[in-house]
Chain A
């Protein structure tokens, strides 16, 4: 499967010079996918020069036309760095792939200059197309992978961002939950809640579910797990922020919240928590 690069193509790549570089850079600048706002001509030129140099090395090393072969290692390494940096800078996949694809025109020109026989020319062009398309697809793949990494990292950050445990008062923690609770999130929520209970030595934690859109049996089960774990450590939980709709759902579904204290609003929960801690909130005379 590892057909070598056809001779005229190998010659064209290994003897690439400033003229070819100029033609290529011009082709890239002229392409509709050029993003002058994201990269300037000097950078583009130096990247292009480096890529041509690596291609020439690969061609001299008698590389095959499948870019997954080891001779293309340096080229692939360069392309993956390039796609990754372009993905971060905001290029689209086709804009990134054009970097390689636009090389076709100058390469074809070179080949046409050295081969005159029509059959031979077809074979040469086919070889060049295969090799360059392979490299372009590789940039697209790397580009996508870089994007996926970004998405994964953001998901992770979102997970951490969405579980803040705040200290309301000495010995009273609050955990305002926002968004749907799945088992992965419950795990994170539970861990951060329990960790904070230990750190702040708080015997009462308020779990506020105002921001949880729906409470089904699974979500209720997750909540109860967190409550049970907190209780094992010696802290009591109050679940607050139960909207009328959610109260109805809970009863219709037959969810058993056991002996967990529930409150309609966070204010009620705070007041009960402070009361249990021995604090009383009184209005000063003349308070508005």
Chain B
């Protein structure tokens, strides 16, 4: 089974999604990520979805869930690099994910995490 690699970069965790997420992979990511946050005591999670071209309501909800879970574990989540068509799909599905922080690029996301950590 495919697993999404989770890299530790400084204080933060970097998740780069480079395959099309199916429901099982997404659930496995939820498990792995929460465990890794606890194990590394990370304070920020950066999810790069720039290669993700198709989303459904499940994946959309899962992104929201991951952010909520991380927040419970005292880590902020920033989703970066969402493709236009993915954003349109999520909005049309009614999932505008108001609680998720977003950024245009990994750089911008790292900056946002650093600012949030400092403040």
A residues with a Cβ closer than 8 A to B are 187, 190-191, 194-195, 197-198, 201-203, 225, 228-235
Contact = CB atoms under 8 A, between A and B. Distances in A.
B84 A228 contact: no
Interface of A is mostly: helix
Interface of B is mostly: mixed
Given A197-B84, A198-B83, A232 B91 contact: yes
B80 to A, nearest CB: 6
A227 to B, nearest CB: 9
Nearest to A259: B98
Please give me the 4 A-B residue pairs with the lowest Cβ-Cβ distance, nearest first: A194-B84, A228-B96, A234-B102, A234-B103
Contacts, number: 60
21 contacts: A187-B88, A190-B88, A191-B84, A194-B84, A194-B88, A201-B105, A203-B104, A225-B91, A225-B92, A228-B91, A229-B87, A229-B91, A229-B96, A230-B87, A231-B96, A231-B102, A232-B87, A233-B87, A234-B81, A234-B82, A234-B108
Contacts of B83: 198, 233
Given A201-B104, A233-B102, 9 more contacts: A187-B88, A198-B83, A198-B104, A229-B91, A229-B96, A232-B79, A233-B82, A233-B84, A234-B102
B62 interface: no
B91 A233 contact: no
A1 B103 CA distance: 70
A235 B112 CA distance: 13
Interface in B73-93: 79-84, 86-88, 90-92
Given A228-B96, A229-B90, A232-B90, A198 B108 contact: no
Contacts of A234: 79-82, 102-105, 108-109
Question: In the complex, which of the residues B79, B87, B100, B103 has the most CB atoms of chain A within 10 Å of its own CB atom?
Answer: B87
B6 interface: no
A191 to B, nearest CB: 6
A84 to B, nearest CB: 36
B97 interface: yes
Contacts of A195: 84
Contacts of B100: 232
A1 to B, nearest CB: 50
Contacts of B96: 228-229, 231-232
Contacts of A225: 91-92
Interface string B10-39: 000000000000000000000000000000
A225 B94 CA distance: 9
